[in-house]
């Protein structure tokens, strides 16, 4: 969908994947629900982005989002990882304690790619099916 702001018209969509530190399978139902709430708030309020699709597996999150051209993706991802890590670790400290004894929640790396009209449906289907293939659902 073509959007516009004061100075531009754009159609920028991205697929972001962030993995938990050491791929610990800590994204259970409660953590996932809270992570999704935080993600929607952060993307919309702080970055003026729109999340089209979001889903998790036990050890990673997929987010399909639209962003205006002014957004610096590396800063958005860094902010997302910092804020969600801090809030999730604070709210679920008892549950996460056996997994994380240092102040990290996410891996240092991440994956981000642009999504075109041709690939949009494939990416949406891939994200929606994430938890279906999880051999160890939590």
Question: In this structure, are strands 50-56 and 9-10 parallel, antiparallel, or unpaired?
Answer: unpaired
Q: Which residues are catalytic?
A: 126
From edge to edge, which strands make up the β-sheet containing 50-56?
A: 50-56, 60-66, 13-20, 106-114
Listed in order, strand segments (DSSP E) in 2-130 are 3-4, 9-10, 13-20, 50-56, 60-66, 106-114
Structure tokens, 63: 């987010």
């Amino acid at each position: 969908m073509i959007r516009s702001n004061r100075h531009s018209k754009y159609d920028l969509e991205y697929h972001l994947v962030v993995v938990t530190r050491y791929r610990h399978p800590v994204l259970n139902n409660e953590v996932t629900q809270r992570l999704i709430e935080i993600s929607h708030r952060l993307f919309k309020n702080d970055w003026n982005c729109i999340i089209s699709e979001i889903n998790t597996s036990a050890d990673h999150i997929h987010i399909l989002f639209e962003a205006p051209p002014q957004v610096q993706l590396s800063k958005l991802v860094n902010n997302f990882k910092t804020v969600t890590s801090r809030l999730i670790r604070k709210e679920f400290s008892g549950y996460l304690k056996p997994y994380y004894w240092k102040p990290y929640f996410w891996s240092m790396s991440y994956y981000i790619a642009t999504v075109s009209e041709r690939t949009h449906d494939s990416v949406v289907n891939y994200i929606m099916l994430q938890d279906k293939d999880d051999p160890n659902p939590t």
